[in-house]
Amino acid sequence: MIEYIIIASIMALLGAAKKTKKPVFGQLTLTGEKAVDWVKPDSTITARKIWIGTAGAFDDYNLPEWAKEKGIVALIFPVSEWGNPMLVIQKSILRVLESKCAEFEAQGCAVNVLKVQLGQVAEIIFEENEPTFTFIRPKNAKQFDPYKVAIE
């Protein structure tokens, strides 16, 4: 009886040690890619880091095909490492993000250029005084009206 328990334990450990190419942590979608949240009216996120690049560069994340046709997109990573990054595809928000990232860089935030298979991603990391972004859209706004961005 004890032999069976030992063998079952060893088999469980060997199965758990199996290496995977997909990430182990982070919320995964049914396709095995990391999940993202979407910008919705009155969404708020406190940023730990921001990535800006072509949509094809974010192949680990579950981006819809139509988002990949948008060109430049951004992922805003929350302070909590367990939260999903927020996908930004709206040009009105991307203009503000790019401008503010240039200001944050001038103020001394860490900036990197990450090389990925399908290009490069600009990364800015906030080690302290993380900014909080709120994306505001009036209730009576039309479908393609721009978002307003409040930054604290």
pLDDT in tens, 3-30: 545 555 555 555 554 444 444 445 566 5
pLDDT in tens, 27-39: 566 556 788 998 9
What is the band of 56 on the pLDDT scale with cuts at 50, 70, 90?
confident
**Which pLDDT value is given to residue 135?**
95
Decide if 45 contacts 76 (C-beta within 8 A).
Answer: yes
pLDDT in tens, 91-139: 999 999 999 999 999 999 999 999 887 788 999 999 989 999 999 988 8
Q: Give the global pTM.
A: 0.78
| 52: nearest Cα among 2, 15, 102 | 102
**Which pLDDT value is given to residue 145?**
87
**Which pLDDT value is given to residue 116?**
82
- Break the chain into its structural domains and give their ranges: 24-151
pLDDT in tens, 66-90: 888 888 999 999 999 888 999 999 9
